[in-house]
Amino acid sequence: MTATDIPVSEPIAKTHTNSHLRTLITQRAISIGIVATFFLIPVWHRVEFASDPFLRDYSTGYLIFIPIIWTISWWIISGFKGVKDISKHKARWLWLGGLLALAIWGLASQRWSFMATDRPEIAAGAAAQFALAVLFVAALYASQHSISSILMTLAATLLLHALIGGAQVAQQGSISLDWIGEFSLDPQREGIGVIQAGETRWLRPYGLTAHPNIFAGFVVIGLLASLALSLDERKSLRWAGTSVYLGGFWVLLLTFSRSAWLGFGVACLALLILTVPFIWKNRTQRRQTIFIVGCTVLLSVLFFALYRPLILVRAGVNTNTEITETRSLNERAIYNNVATEAIRDYPLLGVGIGNFPWYASHYLFYETDTDMRGDNVHNIYLAVQAELGILGTALWLIVISGGLIISLRSPVDETNFQLRSIVVCSVLALLTIGLFDHYMWTMLHFQILLLGLIALSQSKHPNR
């Protein structure tokens, strides 16, 4: 037999099969990591495998760090799968470039940060955390993960955590889940999130997060995700989604989070504007929407009837009986003013990522007579500008607005447009809440949620 007689088709076919298998494995591994990360967003549990304290505070101490690193690692192993495809689309390529540029700017801000000399680890930790979130979102963006699977994950997660939050309110305390990160919740202890009316101190639900407002922010996103299921053509999913929505909405009310209530209202209004032409043409969806709206109104009325004294306190009526409420509002106003001073003092570069609380401590100690300690400003727009300056803020706004514009301009059919609209409105909810809170800028879990939803909204295969 001569060399020309040797068959070559079998080795070529085997190589092709092995390559296809490797691609399938990496795709599946990346998908598992993405789903696991979104599942762990409302879990603040820390794992003691980080030796450096500042790293534990910012990223590697959280349980969610494991699937984040898993996802990024498999994306690297895959050869940065999806980046080549993104490079063919100018708008998507520019968005990814803007996202990476924002992370690089955050890393660079270590050089000029307010505490660069005395505590360089402050900016280093915050910059590393944000860069980690950006790398994960880049992997999510490049992989073109389906919207529907993430929305189902968020809805299922809401069901689990709504049960936990509801049980905490019923118990008016912890429910023995400290082994997975539950905080010790005693409404009589200072520093615990409560509504106080007279002598009554009513515990607000924490779930497995660090604060009721953070918990409420996740519940809002879970509620919007459950609406995707409640409008599904399959009856079983439709009623499962509706049940999750109704239970989750009651827990959202129990959080007494005004910013989350507002964010949810804005998102629902925007969702109706975007999708009502499609819903109205579909008899099943039209009836389901009317049912959900009716139940939402009834639950709201029932909640007001049951918790009227606490709601009036939260609304600012009879605030003379609620010292903690008044103090909270005053402190937020003070931090807003301090952020304005930081922007005035460091307009171009900012005080450095993660450094605003330290700037605030310095300013409050030397420039005012208050006994307050430094903290994050409860407004993400002021926070970004104070920490990253004009140039960093411009990049951040381009990433936020550019991602939403790309998603709304991408052509999809009616079903996929509804899924995409839910994700876009979830982003609007977080941006609205961000007028009154900071965690979607300062905390790893919600950095990933906000940027991840923007990336997800641009998916070319929403229902894959």
Separation CA 424–CA 409 (nearest Å): 12
**pLDDT computed for residue 6 by the predictor:** 47
**pLDDT computed for residue 325 by the predictor:** 60
Mean pLDDT to the nearest integer, 421-439: 96
Give the number of other CB atoms < 10 A from CB of residue 51. Answer: 8
Q: Report the share of the chain in percent with pLDDT over 70.
A: 89
Separation CA 438–CA 426 (nearest Å): 16
Separation CA 329–CA 163 (nearest Å): 30
**pLDDT computed for residue 280 by the predictor:** 87
Q: How far is residue 160 from each of residues 139, 240, 334, measured CA to CA in Å?
A: 27, 13, 37
The one-letter code for the residue type at 198 is G
Half-sphere exposure of 451 (CA within 13 A, CB side): 33
**pLDDT computed for residue 12 by the predictor:** 57
Angle between helices 147-171 and 9-39 (to 10 degrees): 30
Range of weakest confidence among 8-12, 42-46, 382-386: 8-12
Question: Are the CB atoms for 439 and 446 separated by under 8 Å?
Answer: yes
Q: What is the DSSP string of 122-161?
A: HHHHHHHHHHHHHHHHHHHHHHT--HHHHHHHHHHHHHHH
Least Cα distance to 440 among 125, 108, 218, 162 occurs for: 218
The more confidently predicted of residues 172 and 197 is 172
For residue 56, is pLDDT > 60? Answer: no
Residue with tokens 């053509």: 233
The more confidently predicted of residues 416 and 243 is 243
**pLDDT computed for residue 390 by the predictor:** 96
Range of weakest confidence among 8-17, 232-241, 381-390, 446-455: 8-17
For residue 327, is pLDDT > 80? Answer: no
The more confidently predicted of residues 368 and 112 is 112
**pLDDT computed for residue 414 by the predictor:** 67
**pLDDT computed for residue 181 by the predictor:** 87
For residue 67, is pLDDT > 90? Answer: yes
Mean pLDDT to the nearest integer, 11-32: 76
For residue 92, is pLDDT > 60? Answer: yes
**pLDDT computed for residue 408 by the predictor:** 86
101-154 tens-digit pLDDT: 999 999 999 999 999 999 999 999 999 999 999 999 999 999 988 899 999 999
Tell me the sheet residues that pair with 62.
46
**pLDDT computed for residue 52 by the predictor:** 47
In sequence order, which residues have a C-beta less than 8 Å from that of residue 218 and are 6 or more positions away? 41, 42, 157, 158, 161, 207, 209, 449
The one-letter code for the residue type at 398 is I
For residue 463, is pLDDT > 70? Answer: no
Least Cα distance to 193 among 207, 179, 178, 175 occurs for: 207
192-247 tens-digit pLDDT: 989 887 778 899 999 999 999 999 999 999 999 999 999 888 888 999 999 999 99
For residue 451, is pLDDT > 80? Answer: yes
